[in-house]
Amino acid sequence: MKRMLKIVASFSETVRMDMGLSKCAVMHVRRGKLVEGDEMQVQDSISIRRMGLDETYKYLGVQQGLEINLFESKATFKGKFFGRLKKVLASKLNSRSMFTAINTWAVPCIAYSFGVVRWSTTELQSMDTRVRVLLTKYGIHHPHASVSRLYVPRKEGGRGLQSLEIIHNKVVKDLREYFQTKNSPLFKIICQEDENITALNLADRRTLTEATTIGTLTERWHGMTLHGRYPEALKNNNVNKEQSLKYITAGYLYPETEGRLVAIQDQVVPTRAYIKNITKRYLPSDRCRKCSRGLETIQHVTSSCSILAPIEYTDRHNAMAKVYHQAIAIRTGLILTSRKPYEYMPKAVMENEEYRLYWDTLMETDRPVAHNRPDIVIFDKVKKEANIIDVTVPADDNISRAYTEKLTKYEDLAFELKEIYNLRKVYITPLIITTIGLVETHLGENTALLGLDQDIISTSQKEVVLWTTRIVRKFLVND
């Protein structure tokens, strides 16, 4: 080693370069222990300082001396990880960007040490718990919401956070397989000698089984009594799963808003029924605090309370209907510029040479018709066609029935309009998104029938879920 250093020093001097002595040190080891020693003299003018017995040096991001100082290294990794995590949580990112930032900027700070520093399952689970505590502190995760769902990928309805325990187990498993499958004599000797010396324990040829995986977490989430109702609803044949999860895959909601919506879907919002029957706390009554008629469940609050129906439910319904009305008006040339949904105020009747568009208008008929006030009616004067469009925001368990009911509800009106205006065809087009954002399977087809872009479904869904979270928050705050 000394001869090699002399060659390097001589070469450096010849090409007029200096050795980086400030980054060099020499460690004296005798019989496996650090001992005092002198500087290493390379040349007359070049010497390398000795490293103190209590000093460490950083190699690939890990502080070490004769061996890795586990306690100090773990404290350093934890400090950097949680420091970055808090900075991300304090940012104003939308939900998807925030979880992406955690996974790509904060998590690697500690995942870098996996396979090098020995971490116990207890330590990893404790750090995952501390992450969830911080998410709860910042209002991003409800303390009673599904823990498993937090780590499920967004395309499956989860929130896409990476679990330190799962990452650690995968990294260790992959590294062990890498070393143990190499045919190189050097690798074989390393594996033979590593009897619980490193974090990989390469001498143990048994295949590591991962106790916790994304698959097991998904199964656990689906199997829960309350938490599992939402993923089961996504499996309904009348639900378009991909469109229903658009709000979470796009991740445009604020993290706090997404957290509230997830709590509603997981049915852990502190309604009277939840407090009395699930948490088993004393309450004199579990009836609705507004109407006193039904059991105060989250389904009742979001879709069945007679006191909320005239204003809150109607405003939510109209918010979705306005999105479609404005899009139809722009497509037909009745208006030229678009506005944000909450700024748009539809006119009762809009007309040009080709189209006539009605909004929430009583349709005159020759014979009495029970249901003659649909949300939107569009007449195509050129094709001699009309389209009766009705929006509904039902509870998730009513999605199957809602579509059929809308078709039969306006059959008489469709017949009357066809006769009165001498039309070739009259369509009935139900547009359905449930209170928690489930998209009815015909919505994409009906949106295309109206000549509208599919992106409008996501916009409508956003309006519905925002109104649902607003209704629930207002309901609980005004107790």
Per-residue pLDDT of the chain (479 residues; tens, 9 = 90+): 888 888 888 888 899 888 887 888 888 888 878 788 888 887 777 888 888 777 777 777 777 776 667 788 899 899 999 999 999 999 999 999 999 999 999 999 999 899 988 999 999 999 999 999 999 999 999 999 999 999 999 999 999 999 999 999 999 999 999 999 999 999 999 999 999 888 899 998 887 777 789 999 999 999 999 999 999 999 999 999 999 999 999 999 999 999 999 999 999 999 999 999 999 999 999 999 999 999 999 999 999 999 999 999 999 999 999 999 999 999 999 999 999 999 999 999 999 999 999 999 999 998 999 999 999 999 999 999 999 999 999 999 999 899 999 999 999 999 999 999 999 999 999 999 999 999 999 999 999 999 999 999 999 999 999 999 999 999 998 65
Please, what is the angle between helix 121-137 and helix 164-180, to 10°? 150
Residue 251 in contact with residue 99, Cβ under 8 Å? yes
425-432 sheet: strands from edge to edge: 349-351, 355-359, 376-380, 385-392, 425-432
Residues 186 and 194 sit within 8 Å (Cβ to Cβ): no
Q: In b/e form, how buried is each residue of 66-79, taking b as 16+ CB within 10 angstroms? A: eebbeeebbebbbe
CA dihedral 265→268→272→276, nearest 10 degrees, is 140
Q: What was the pLDDT predicted at 35? A: 81
CA distances from 86 to 8, 366, 471 (A): 46, 67, 30
**Pairing state of beta strands 62-64 and 57-59?**
antiparallel
3-state SS assignment for residue 351? strand
pLDDT given for residue 171 in this prediction: 94
Tell me what pLDDT residue 479 has: 56
Task: Name residue 390's beta-bridge partners.
Answer: 430
Q: Which residues pair with 439 in a beta bridge?
A: 433
Nearest to residue 240, comparing CAs of 23, 7, 432, 3? 432
Note the pLDDT of residue 66.
67
- Count, in order, helices (H) and strands (E) of the chain: 20, 11
pLDDT in the model for residue 212: 85
3-state secondary structure (DSSP) of residue 357: strand
**Structure tokens, 42:** 């390379």
- The DSSP bridge partners found for residue 358 are 349, 377
34/28 Cα distance (integer angstroms): 6
Query: Using the 8-state DSSP alphabet, how is residue 212 labeled?
Result: S
Q: Which residues pair with 141 in a beta bridge?
A: none
Do residues 347 and 359 touch, judged by C-beta distance below 8 A?
yes
Work out the angle at residue 58's Cα, subtended by the Cα atoms of residues 55 and 61, and round it to the nearest 5 degrees. Answer: 145
d(CA 269, CA 143): 10
Nearest Cα residue to 334 out of 319, 354, 363, 359: 354
**Do residues 117 and 74 make contact, with C-beta atoms less than 8 angstroms apart?**
yes
Strand 355-359 and strand 349-351: the pairing is antiparallel
Which class for 411: exposed (0-12), middle (13-18), buried (19 or more C-beta within 10 A)?
A: middle
Q: Model's pTM, two decimal places? A: 0.86
pLDDT score of 45: 76
Give the per-residue pLDDT at 49.
Answer: 86
